[in-house]
Chain A
Amino acid sequence: MSAFNRQRFIALLVKETLQIVRDPSTFLIAFVLPMILLFLFGYGVSLDTTRIKIGLALQDTGAQARSLATAYERSTWFDVTGSRDVTSLKADLVAGNIRGIIVIPPDFGRRLDSRGDPASIQVITDGSMPNTAGFVAAYAEGIRASWAAGLADERGVQPLPPISLAQRFWFNPELTSRYFLVPGSIAIVMTMIGTLLTALVVAREWERGTMEALLATPIGMAEFLATKVIPYFILGLCSMTICTLIAIFIFGVPFLGSALALLAIASAFLVPALGQGLLISAVTKNQFVASQVALLSAFLPAMLLSGFLFEISSMPRIIQFITYVVPARYVIPPLQTVFAVGDLWGLFLRNIAVLLGFGAFFFLLAIRATRRRIA
């Protein structure tokens, strides 16, 4: 161990930077993959169920049944295929061509005018897609209810439901899933650069023995790790900036916070991401194993257990506990907030503190693992 030497530090930093810039896989992970991911979350993965295909079996020829059928056909929620015959619609449901069936039975009009049981329509959903099925059920009932209200209106009967709900969706009034998926995918991109790329490249150096060669020089451990990490840190921020610009200008995601806040959040997240990457490479020192470990311990959790795609509160308790040790869990809320809400420093600082804590932990472990390796 020797004292900090500025010239040596800069020389090493330049060497590491050149090495990164010249490696074609850097370009692939830092720029091509982020574009693909952003594109996938911007266009491909959409939770906005618009125009669900359904079948409508209109078995009553009366005026009222037809008016209800028209209400369904005019709805923007559904893309309706009409048929008299329920059997053929059922086959379509099995084949997956439609996601639900609405049956207006032959006695609908008669029941509606009589004083007995209420007139029923039947709503059949495709339970093999539970999320879509829930929407089909809710929209089908909603359209019927508003049709019934309008119908009573013309007859002068009290139409208003006794209790109504005035709903407002803050931060995202149109409920466009892209507005939260695209900012979230920036966290995935930084995980790829921070953990996956770092683990892979540093593991290759261990494999080839160039790590040991460098460690044999009089450089200090912390200084040495810093020269390894700083170029990736900058690369991560560059990639984040490009992603943000694409999110704002190509996908039209609103950005209400400040650039400073975004920079602070992204920097704080890169610390544990890089620490984890270094740790994985120091422990495995094998490219294939490092890639698998990085994939399983960083990429998949960031994607699935961070609350980015799937609600953490809906997971079983054990898995909820696991999510507490996934650093990405603490970056998704501030990222989504800085885009959709603005600067809420209380929320930001709380999460930044947790992220830096994780970072310190990973770096300490990485230093220990590296030291043991040399010994």
Chain B
Amino acid sequence: MWGRIYALIVKEMWAILRDPRARVILVVPPLVQLFVLGFATTLEVKNIDVGVYNRDSGAWSTEFVQRLSGSPNIRGLVWIRSPKELRSAIDNQRVIVAVSIDQRFSADIEAGRPVTIQAIFDGRRSNAAQIVSGYIERIAGEMGASLAPATASRRSQSVLTNWFNPNLDYLWFTMPALIVIISTVSGLGITALSVARERELGTFDQLMVSPLRVHEILIGKMVPPFLVGLFNASLYLILIPFAFGVPLTGSITLFYLALTFYLLALVGVGMLVSSLAQTQQQAFLGVFLVTVPATLLSGYASPVDNMPGWLQILAQANPPKHFLIVSEGVFLKAMPALDVLSNTWPLVIIASVTLTASAILFRARME
């Protein structure tokens, strides 16, 4: 039996690696994706333009404007001279926020009266607007604090520490997540399409009538995508710390343990899709139908915590959701074995359910 499986694995590896174009497709797009997505998919807000409508000619408004232009997240200031211009600057998205300082600003500060600065945000970009509002608030707060008489007592403050990622560098989050996302896309695709292609060509029936048992065929089909996934993930595991400077703080053994079951779960889902598809086109659409929700609900595009409760329960069946936690944990948090295992056992369940189901479906097809 092992000899038969071995021969089948060799055949499957050839089927994937024989074509030079296919060899390129297996490795190059994932690498390009790593670079482009790594830098593009950030929820940080940088290089913004801020509109300034300053009706005050005093020194204090100049001070505030200077503090604005000194902020590292603000790229440029756009001078606004009328409410109409302000409206148009926001409407046409030239600026994401416009601050409006009224005529008595400096005079009021001199007189020790509290002052208010108006800030108008473009709510079409709600996430960015919210983050920018934090920046502006901090600038106003700092300037206010420097003006405040140092009342001796009853002062409090908060001291901030960002664990695992002191400068909140978004790349540190994106890179470990991309290992998960990219291996999901390629793993599902390779598995589903390799079966569908044989089906369309009719060679799958030949396999079925050969002395091979159904589970042997399945194992033969599982090994190549598994090895390709292992290869790509290992490549990223080396690239991410060395080329992107993201720290790898946890145990590599634990990472590979979770990765093994993650890839098995992926291959299982891919097999399930291909056992339902008749043609390549159906398999492609099926993979697309699975991949898009799987990646969007993985916690990469937006945190799982933000989803409604019932969807969070549904997300438990989503393999990338679990492996994303492990990948982030092993890279940034030096995640202990117990936490890794508690995110790995759902993968074991998903893998066994999907693989068993696809074996049953294949067998049913055969009879």
Chain A interface residues (CB < 8 Å from chain B): 25, 28-29, 32-33, 36-37, 40-41, 43-50, 52-53, 93-96, 99, 108, 112-115, 118-135, 137-138, 140-141, 144-145, 148, 151-152, 155, 157-158, 160-173, 175-177, 179-180, 200, 204, 287-288, 291-292, 295-296, 300, 304-305, 309-311, 313-316, 319, 322, 333, 336-337, 340-341, 344, 346-347
Contacts and interface: CB of A to CB of B under 8 A. Distances in A.
Contacts of A340: 123-124
Contacts of B160: 123, 125, 137, 141
Interface string B350-364: 000000000000000
Nearest to A132: B303
A162 B46 contact: no
Which of B134, B148, B152 counts the most A-chain CB atoms under 10 A from its CB? B134
B161 to A, nearest CB: 5
B91 A341 contact: yes
B92 A121 contact: no
A304 to B, nearest CB: 6
B158 A123 contact: yes
A50 B37 CA distance: 27
B58 interface: no
B172 A127 contact: yes
Nearest to A24: B282
B333 interface: yes
B116 interface: yes
A291 B192 CA distance: 14
Contacts of B301: 45, 309
12 contacts: A29-B285, A37-B292, A43-B308, A44-B311, A53-B305, A95-B335, A99-B305, A119-B155, A121-B156, A168-B119, A344-B91, A347-B92
Which of A95, A120, A177, A336 counts the most B-chain CB atoms under 10 A from its CB? A95
Nearest to B282: A25
B119 A165 contact: yes
B205 interface: no
A166 B75 contact: no
B36 interface: yes
Contact of A94 (B157, B284, B307, B333): B333
Given A112-B154, A319-B40, A175 B126 contact: yes
A170 B165 contact: no
A347 B90 CA distance: 12
A304 B37 contact: yes
Given A43-B311, A126-B163, A163-B114, A314 B46 contact: yes
Interface in B109-160: 109, 114-131, 133-134, 136-137, 140-141, 143-144, 147-148, 151-160
